[in-house]
Amino acid sequence: MRLPGTLREFGIPRLLIAVFLAVLFGVAVATHMDLRGLISDSIVRVGRNGILVLALLPAIQGGLGLNFGLPLGIICGLVGAVISLNAGVHGIWGVAMAAGIGVALAVPVGMGYGWLLNRTRGQEMMVGTYLGFAMVSMMSVFWLLAPFKNPTLVWAIGGRGLRTTLSLGGIYDKVLDRWLEFTVAGVRIPGGTLVVFGGLSFLTWLFFRTRMGISIAAARSSTRFARAAGISDERTRLQATVLSTVLGAIGIVIFSQSYGFVQLYTAPLLMAFPAIACILIGGATVTRATIGHVIVGTLLFQSILTVALPVTSQVIQGDISETARLIIQNGMILYALTRVGRA
Amino acid sequence: MTSSAAGAPALELKGIVKEYEQNRVLKGVSLSFQSPAEAMEAGIGMVHQEFMLLPGFRVAENIKLNREPTLPNPASRVLGKKLESLDVARMRADARRALDAVGLGIDEWIRVAGLPVGHMQFIEIAREVDKERLKLLIFDEPTAVLTESDAEKLLDIMRGLASKGHAILFITHRLDEVLAVANRITVLRDGEVVGTPDPKTTTVARIAELMVGRPAAIAAQRRFFAPTTEPALGIEHLREDMPGERVEDISLAVRRGEILGIGGLAGHGKLGIANGIMGLYPAWGRVVFGEKLFPLNEPREALERGLAFVSEDRRGVGLLPEESVELNIALSALEAQGRFLHPSPIPALQVLNHGAMHRHALEMIRALDIRTTGPSQQVRRLSGGNQQKVCVARAMTLRPKLLFVSEPTRGIDVGAKERVLEILTALNREQEVTLVVTSSELAELRAICDRVAIVYRGKVEAILPPDAPDAAFGLAMAGESARAA
């Protein structure tokens, strides 16, 4: 089947998913659901997940493929969040402190991760997956044994070990979502979170137009070209990994404040997968991605997740949204991996 | 280069070539054999230049691989022939016979790993000889890796096989060997037959002449300034580890302001020289540039000291095919010299000055006549010749003192070839850039160079003036320049 040029450029998987989303919205309209609420929820989720998706961009641009090791950055952000909670810092300063500590941790962690990836060239995605899994398990021990004393964080009985889910209610729950919040035609827009997402996207875009960013992208395109141009691709890969890990740390802090809870223990385990699905649905490949892919992909995938649950439960009196999520998410990753080397 | 069929039944060879040609005419490039297995089935054996042996397997196992004699066993009776046991005794006997036929006295049950290359070569031949249906045996540069005495032995074996009725197609550039064994000789150049001299009457010099061919009318362009004898780049005992290129002991002095050509046959190291000095492959030796000792294996240092390189591998090293023309032109200068950037307190975070890059690209597009829809077009959409001009433009942007250009006209059309050569000579004359041009096309070296160095087996065999006789070039390429004197 040959599609017209513009449609082909858009990509068949993206097309199918956009059509699926349109059908979901169509059903929502037909069954008189709260359309404004659905759109508003979709936008909230875009802001919530956007930075985690953005975190994948430097890794792809740096030639490391899909960063399945994203949980490493996420864990750094979580440690930052827990420390800020333990210190009892509220409001926007709590978020800033959590993000700041997260970034400070993510830089050395990212360097170690990058060092490892340079030693396991060509298997970045598999190494990232396993390293992520291993670190999540190791951190589960840490959460249990870490000397946090704040009674709102530790288990009520026994007084030792952090709880699996920490509520941010009254601390910095939705503090960015509410900051600069406004309503357009009855649709609530979480201004602050979107501003942070937009700002970081802009900075990332700008970074890839700097000398360092251009070297990273050049080394991705051709190792041998980079070498001939005097670029050390070991260094650019390290830089890309650090940047990806740092964005992952910031991403989870923003995610948590918007979600209202900090999830510990095994929660970060599978967090890379939906983010990866987002950027791929946006049109990125394992070797090439843009900010546009991040935004479009997050919008499409998160909207489907938001709309699918209420719509399907309305129509078939059951929940297939989780099933749909898993099929789309993992199918998309599988599809992208079959395209490796073909671009 | 030179091929010869020895032995009696040359009919098979003719048949194959004819069939190949017919098929080519009928179906474009599709061959009569769909797979190597079919060619083997038809009785063609091949001794490869790169050995096709499994190092962890024993000699006999390698010889009989996939053709093992087998014995039935209970499992194979039920599940089919694939599960039959190996008949080790027969394997060893067969292998022994084949090894004896090629005069190799080693134990047939030792592993191949660690054997000397000469032995591997003979095992490879023994494997082919062992094939019952063998009619034609192809040797692709078999003597390239052998010592002289082993090479002698190989020629004897070839004579022996031919006398037993096997046809042999012997591909080599060693002219002496051709004359020693061949019944008929065919000389190829650039994929075409250029002559079939009779081995009984021809000489090495005559074959060498055919190999080189007449150069296109050498442009008698007068130079604007004569090259000095002042050395620009001194290379002493350069040795290098580049796959497929042999650079063993190159010593060469490049004079300031000249165009030095480097020629020689494929694999003899001509391409390695530029790659080694630019730091793209590990290299050892003493290099002096501008009266200062020049560090090897430091690509960045090479660029910073005023060297530039237009690589023979356009797609792999020369270009970022997915990126725009302007970025491709600016990138090396941007990286090595920090040009085309907005000022910023942190050097690594200087933002690209798109305007400056764009203007520079437009200038280059005009100067080099690059056919493109504009500076932002993806480089992979350009034709080969225009891609090459982009590579040259990037090197020029570095404003080098000395420029290496490898295979400047490979894979580009005739018109563009001339344009690229013009650009290079203009660069040399008008901007006084010293040029080192490496090319497989001797004619183009002779057209634009002041001197042409010919490398042979990783060493400089001769440095010739461009108007030296054809035979002198041919002999130098075959490592026999002594004979020309």
As given in the structure block, the two tokens for residue A165 are 């889910």
Q: Is B338 within 8 Å of chain A by CB?
A: yes
Write the pLDDT tens digit of every residue in B383-412: 888 898 999 999 999 999 999 999 888 877
When pLDDT is cut at 50, 70 and 90, the band that residue B479 belongs to is: confident
Sign of the Cα torsion A200, A205, A211, A216 reads positive
A113 has pLDDT over 80: yes
Interface ipTM > 0.85: no
Average pLDDT, chain A: 87
Q: Could you tell me if residue A289 is inside a domain?
A: yes
CATH number, domain with residue A147: 1.10.3470
A112 has pLDDT over 90: yes
Q: Could you tell me if residue A293 is inside a domain?
A: yes
Q: Could you tell me if residue A300 is inside a domain?
A: yes
When pLDDT is cut at 50, 70 and 90, the band that residue B221 belongs to is: low
Q: Could you tell me if residue A310 is inside a domain?
A: yes
Report the residue of B280, B320, B337 to disrupt the A interface, i.e. the one with the largest count of A CBs within 10 Å. B320
Q: What is the DSSP string of B141-163?
A: SGGGGS-HHHHHHHHHHHHHHHH
What integer is the mean pLDDT of B28-45?
Answer: 64
A2 has pLDDT over 70: no
Give the separation between CA B82 and CA B92, rounded to whole angstroms: 20
A225/B318 CB distance under 8 A = yes
Q: Of A210-224, B7-21, B25-39, which one has max mean pLDDT?
A: A210-224
- Whether A333 contacts A66, CB under 8 Å: yes
Q: What are phi and psi of B293, to 5 degrees?
A: -65, 135
Q: Could you tell me if residue A114 is inside a domain?
A: yes
Q: Could you give the number of structural domains in chain A?
A: 1
- Determine the structural domain holding residue A313 and report its residue range: 13-23+38-338
Q: Could you tell me if residue A3 is inside a domain?
A: no
What integer is the mean pLDDT of A47-54?
Answer: 94
What integer pLDDT is reported at residue B448 of this predicted model? 87
Give the separation between CA A217 and CA A219, rounded to whole angstroms: 5
Q: Could you tell me if residue A250 is inside a domain?
A: yes
Q: Could you tell me if residue A5 is inside a domain?
A: no
The residues near B162 (Cβ < 8 Å, ≥ 6 apart) are B6, B7, B8, B168, B181, B183
Q: Which of A10-24, A209-223, B56-70, B354-368 comes out lowest in average pLDDT?
A: A10-24
B303/A212 CB distance under 8 A = no
Q: Is A290 within 8 Å of chain B by CB?
A: no
What integer pLDDT is reported at residue A341 of this predicted model? 57
- Whether A216 contacts A232, CB under 8 Å: no
| Residue that wins the pLDDT comparison between B365 and A20 | B365
Domains defined for chain B, CATH in brackets? 2-212 (3.40.50.300), 231-484 (3.40.50.300)
| Residue that wins the pLDDT comparison between B36 and B2 | B36
Q: What is the DSSP string of A19-69?
A: HHHHHHHHHHHHTT--HHHHHHHHHHHHHHHHHHHHTHHHHHHTT--S-TT
Q: How far is A232 from chain B (nearest CA, A)?
A: 9
- Alpha helix stretches (DSSP H) within chain A: 5-10, 12-30, 35-54, 56-61, 70-87, 91-119, 124-145, 175-178, 191-207, 211-221, 223-228, 233-259, 272-281, 291-316, 321-338
What integer pLDDT is reported at residue A105 of this predicted model? 96
Give the separation between CA B472 and CA B479, rounded to whole angstroms: 10
What integer pLDDT is reported at residue B358 of this predicted model? 94
Q: Which of A211, A230, A288 sits opposite B341 (nearest CB)?
A: A211
What integer pLDDT is reported at residue A295 of this predicted model? 93
What integer pLDDT is reported at residue B17 of this predicted model? 43
Give the separation between CA B203 and CA A219, rounded to whole angstroms: 52
B81 has pLDDT over 60: yes
Report the residue of B303, B346, B351, B354 to disrupt the A interface, i.e. the one with the largest count of A CBs within 10 Å. B351
Q: How far is A278 from chain B (nearest CA, A)?
A: 24
Residue percentage of chain A with pLDDT more than 90: 44
A342 has pLDDT over 60: no
Chain-centre distance of CA B289, in angstroms? 27
What integer pLDDT is reported at residue B224 of this predicted model? 47
Which residue has tokens 């022939």? B81
A222/B317 CB distance under 8 A = yes
Report strand pairing: B192-195 vs B434-438.
unpaired
What integer pLDDT is reported at residue A3 of this predicted model? 55
What integer pLDDT is reported at residue A318 of this predicted model? 67
What integer pLDDT is reported at residue B10 of this predicted model? 29
- Whether A210 contacts B351, CB under 8 Å: yes
- Whether B109 contacts B59, CB under 8 Å: yes
- Whether B376 contacts B407, CB under 8 Å: no
Report the residue of A225, A235, A286 to disrupt the B interface, i.e. the one with the largest count of B CBs within 10 Å. A225
B220 has pLDDT over 60: no
When pLDDT is cut at 50, 70 and 90, the band that residue B3 belongs to is: very low
Residues from chain A that touch B313, judged by Cβ atoms under 8 A, are: 224
Chain-centre distance of CA B478, in angstroms? 15
Q: Which of A211, A222, A229 sits opposite B316 (nearest CB)?
A: A222
Write the pLDDT tens digit of every residue in B174-183: 788 888 888 8
